[in-house]
Amino acid sequence: MPSTTLSIPTPDGRSDAFAAYPEQGGTHPGVLLYPDAFGPRPVLWAMARELADHGYYVLVPNVFYRHRPAPVFDLPDHITAEDRPALFGQIMPLIEAHTIERALSDAGAYLDFLTAQPEVGAGPVAAIGYCMGAVLAMRTATAHPDRVAAVAGFHPGALVTDQADSPHRQIPGLTAKVHLGLAEGDMTPEAITEISHAFDAAGVDYSCEIYPGTVHGYTMSDTDAFDAAGSRRHWERLLALLGNTFKA
């Protein structure tokens, strides 16, 4: 499976990135894959390769590029619950520095770069993400409704808040098909109801599903949160969404 590291020009500098794409020639639907809070690392690159094996050009940007290149953090080979407090002491300042303004500025640059690649077909792309990446994927799609046709978010971060700029408040501008794969406890019943009402009011084609028996981070095989059944379900739902969007 061909893969490469890339440098994406942004208004604030250059974002390093990883891309994987099918071996056969021609063009393929583009997928912008936002990582979880631990940032781009081997497990994300392996997931990108797996998705590319299904016929997609997958771009994984380093959203923390303003601080250092990927892998951004000195992570153990397997992240346990005991590792998390110290790691999040390093991670949270970078997350807090990644403001909405920065996220939206980067999103436009990432879409420009992705759609300009010779292996990427014409037309809109997909934005998918994990944990905080699900929030970034949703913000990308709501800010660029003509450029994003599918959104998937797994064990998402805060999609519903009481802030005026909450991601769910931007849904009226959304045109993409959406799947949200929640771990148990990711969102309160009230938050699920609120975001579902927002999707319904906007006429969005969406599904919002709690994956039974999972905890936050269930897709990430380098963590204690990994759940094999939840990961399989995530792949089934993701591939179905992309297939229905790009291959119908």
Domains of the chain, by residue range, sit at 3-246
Q: Would you say 40 and 110 are in contact if contact means Cβ atoms under 8 Å apart?
A: no
**203 — pLDDT class (breaks 50, 70, 90):** very high
Q: Would you say 78 and 222 are in contact if contact means Cβ atoms under 8 Å apart?
A: yes
User: What percent of the chain stands above pLDDT 70?
Assistant: 100
Q: Would you say 73 and 19 are in contact if contact means Cβ atoms under 8 Å apart?
A: no
- The model's pTM is 0.97
* Mean pLDDT value across residues 234-247: 96
The pLDDT value given to residue 25: 84
User: What separation in angstroms does the CA of 83 have from each of 38, 67, 88?
Assistant: 12, 22, 9
Task: Tell which residue, 77, 132, 105, 93, has the closest CA to residue 12.
Answer: 105
* Mean pLDDT value across residues 94-113: 98
Architecture of domain 3-246: 3-Layer(aba) Sandwich (3.40)
Beta bridge partners of 19: 4, 59
Q: Produce one character per residue of 40-69: b if its CB has 16 or more CB atoms within 10 Å, e if not.
A: bbebbbebbbebbebbbbbbbbbbbbeeee
Beta bridge partners of 3: 20
Please count the CA atoms within 13 angstroms of the CA of 138 that sit on its side-chain side.
28
Q: Are strands 148-154 and 125-130 parallel, antiparallel or unpaired?
A: parallel
The helix (run of H) or strand (run of E) holding residue 214 is none
Does residue 248 surpass a pLDDT of 70? no
What is the C-alpha separation between 136 and 106, in angstroms, rounded? 10
Task: Tell which residue, 77, 29, 25, has the closest CA to residue 51.
Answer: 29
What is the C-alpha separation between 155 and 164, in angstroms, rounded? 23
Beta bridge partners of 147: none
Average pLDDT, the chain: 97
Helix, strand or coil, per DSSP, at residue 104: helix
Please count the CA atoms within 13 angstroms of the CA of 79 that sit on its side-chain side.
22
Would you give the end-to-end CA distance of the chain in angstroms?
25
**1 — pLDDT class (breaks 50, 70, 90):** confident
* Mean pLDDT value across residues 8-14: 98
Q: What angle separates helix 132-143 from helix 100-116, to the nearest 10 degrees?
A: 70
What is the C-alpha separation between 203 and 141, in angstroms, rounded? 15
**24 — pLDDT class (breaks 50, 70, 90):** confident
**CB-CB neighbours of 200 under 10 Å:** 11
User: Which residue type sits at 113?
Assistant: F
Instruction: Quickly count helices (H) and strands (E) in the chain.
Output: 6, 8
